[in-house]
Amino acid sequence: MSAITPTEKPTVGIEEAMQEPVPETAKKLVIFAWSGELDKIWPTLILATTSAAMGQDTTIFFTFWGLFPLVKNEKRVTGKNWMQKMLSLMNRGGIDHLKLSKMNFLGAGPAMMHSLAKSHKVASPAELLAMAKEMGVKLVPCQMTMEMMGLKREDLIDGLEEPAGATTALLDAQGAATLFI
Amino acid sequence: MSAITPTEKPTVGIEEAMQEPVPETAKKLVIFAWSGELDKIWPTLILATTSAAMGQDTTIFFTFWGLFPLVKNEKRVTGKNWMQKMLSLMNRGGIDHLKLSKMNFLGAGPAMMHSLAKSHKVASPAELLAMAKEMGVKLVPCQMTMEMMGLKREDLIDGLEEPAGATTALLDAQGAATLFI
Amino acid sequence: MSAITPTEKPTVGIEEAMQEPVPETAKKLVIFAWSGELDKIWPTLILATTSAAMGQDTTIFFTFWGLFPLVKNEKRVTGKNWMQKMLSLMNRGGIDHLKLSKMNFLGAGPAMMHSLAKSHKVASPAELLAMAKEMGVKLVPCQMTMEMMGLKREDLIDGLEEPAGATTALLDAQGAATLFI
């Protein structure tokens, strides 16, 4: 993970983790990305890219609010009916437009976080999303949410897997480390 | 899961999941349902009923705010002392009275979500809760939360498991896919 | 867990859990403690101490907002630059100063929760944190967050593991029950 956290020294836990052989099927991470907020997408993408860098099979299943960061940055309104359109207006999508879950302060909070991240060489969510794609992290949009929220495939960024449902996500989750973020 | 998401096409991940045999003990889902909000209860129940439909052993351990959706819809005040009573008044229980974690707009948000769900044939939380019971999902209320919040067994809906504690939940979680929602 | 929840009767799930042998490597819990709020830290510490009491290898990886409860109670301002200092002022650290994620009411909510907990013999977060250390729960602060937020090692309480990164946490998580709280 040197690209993201050059100063990371994994001094804890490695010896313990290596003492007993972990089954190969456990070297896997499945994240259910439910939240669309900056401070949740950040750990989602850091954990996913780290996992991929460790050679683990890694999937992010984007559902509910979590789908909005995958909307193209330039899309302003999505949806077919007025409810879906209002939803997209109130809850702007796009990886460059995310809010903090707390201390958002009309955007001052996220600006501050981006500034702190930059000065400590932590990659931005947009950069991490690009890295995740390159590293083979499977980015799966939840089909049911897309239909409910009125998000069409062309509203979302390129490089995603085919939309899928809960069955697919849970099959993938069998034996994996699983996180709902 | 055809009853819930008739259009789901599990095109991603299944082949990969089938390549290496997953141990039988991993075909299990344990959800820690901490949040009582509509947009969290929905994925909790969709994942749990999907997991049960896949033949997986499935448990939801309802704790903290997550216990309030299990309160009977007609119960208005619960608790013995004024603190517990105030808590139940400020945080109305019942699967039909849930709020969104954001964009609640005094109930307009949840009404919109219910409307969007209905028009896309997504079952409501009340319907999913009934399905979960029928499908054998174990619904376990957290005993410690019940005591702290002053919730009596008769305040909660029928069809739940006996109240239990963290030890029981963690034993169940061994080897399972685990999510804190 | 008798010290924490003396009335807990684990009546559900134990028989089922005992029917099929769970691999030894699965008797492990890794919590990603992302949230710094009282109602999230409480279940984090209850689950971690319960897990340790069951003889399980247990790790809490504190990241993002989750790091602030580890700040010493008497520390008022942390950070090097004005952004980090403002962050610490707006989001006071210390296990004794935590807020509720909802119904905080300028501190009345947390006071009520502490009172309810005390009268039902539920240990406070400060007590649970001390117990976790004594019981050998590994408390690992996230190095990247510390750098971004400007938290120095001496700002944090004693008895923690060396700061570490996502790779360490994910290695620890292989085969374990994993929760993002």
Note the pLDDT of residue C107.
87
Q: Would the CB atoms of B148 and C46 count as touching at under 8 Å?
A: no
Tally Cβ neighbours within 10 Å of residue B1. Answer: 19
Tell whether A89 is within 8 A of chain B (Cβ).
Answer: no
ipTM passes above 0.85: yes
Note the pLDDT of residue B128.
97
A25, A64, A147: residue with CB nearest B120? A147
Min Cα distance B86 → chain A (Å) is 25
Could you give the C-alpha distances from C165 to A13, B13, B64, B111, C172, in angstroms and in order? 11, 28, 30, 42, 11
Note the pLDDT of residue B5.
47
Residue A13 clears pLDDT 70, i.e. is over it: no
Note the pLDDT of residue A6.
42
Q: Looking at beta carbons, which residues of chain B come within 8 Å of C20?
A: 24-25
Strand C57-62 with C138-141, pairing: parallel
User: What integer is the mean pLDDT of A103-117?
Assistant: 89
Average pLDDT over chain A, rounded to an integer: 90
User: What integer is the mean pLDDT of A2-20?
Assistant: 49
Tell me the pLDDT tens digit for each residue of B83-119: 999 899 989 999 999 999 988 888 889 999 999 999 9
Tally Cβ neighbours within 10 Å of residue C17. Answer: 22
Note the pLDDT of residue A7.
47
C87, C162, C174: residue with CB nearest A177? C174
Nearest CA in chain A to C64: A39
Instruction: Determine the residue among B80, B144, B160, B181 to mutate to test chain C binding: the one whose Cβ has the most chain C Cβ atoms within 10 Å.
Output: B144
Q: Do residues C58 and C140 make contact, with C-beta atoms less than 8 angstroms apart? A: no
**Of residues B22 and A162, more confidently modeled:** A162
Give every CB contact of residue B46 below 8 A, 6+ residues apart in sequence. Answer: A144, A166, B4, B128
Longest alpha-carbon distance in chain A:
57
* Block mean pLDDT (10 aa), chain C, length 181: 45 51 88 96 98 98 97 94 91 94 88 92 96 98 96 97 98 97 98
3 state DSSP class of A43: helix
Residue type at A87?
Answer: L
Q: Position of tokens 């969104």?
A: B100
Note the pLDDT of residue A19.
56
Which residues are bridge partners to B141 per DSSP?
Answer: B62
Residue A106 clears pLDDT 90, i.e. is over it: no
Residue A45 clears pLDDT 80, i.e. is over it: yes
- Going by C-alpha positions, the residue among A106, A86, A110 that lies closest to residue A36 is A110
Tell me the pLDDT tens digit for each residue of B128-173: 999 999 999 999 999 999 999 999 999 999 999 999 999 999 999 9
Tell me the pLDDT tens digit for each residue of A122-174: 999 999 999 999 999 999 999 999 999 999 999 999 999 999 999 999 999 99
Query: What does DSSP assign to residue A24?
Result: G
Query: If contacts are CB pairs under 8 Å, which of residues 1-20 in chain A contact chain C?
Result: 1, 4-5, 7-14, 16-17, 20
- Going by C-alpha positions, the residue among C121, B17, B103 that lies closest to residue A168 is B17
Chains within contact range of chain C (3+ C-beta pairs < 8 Å): A, B
Q: Looking at beta carbons, which residues of chain A come within 8 Å of B27?
A: 174
Q: Would the CB atoms of B22 and A23 count as touching at under 8 Å?
A: no
CA C161 – CA C41 distance, rounded (Å) = 18
3 state DSSP class of A95: coil
Note the pLDDT of residue A107.
87
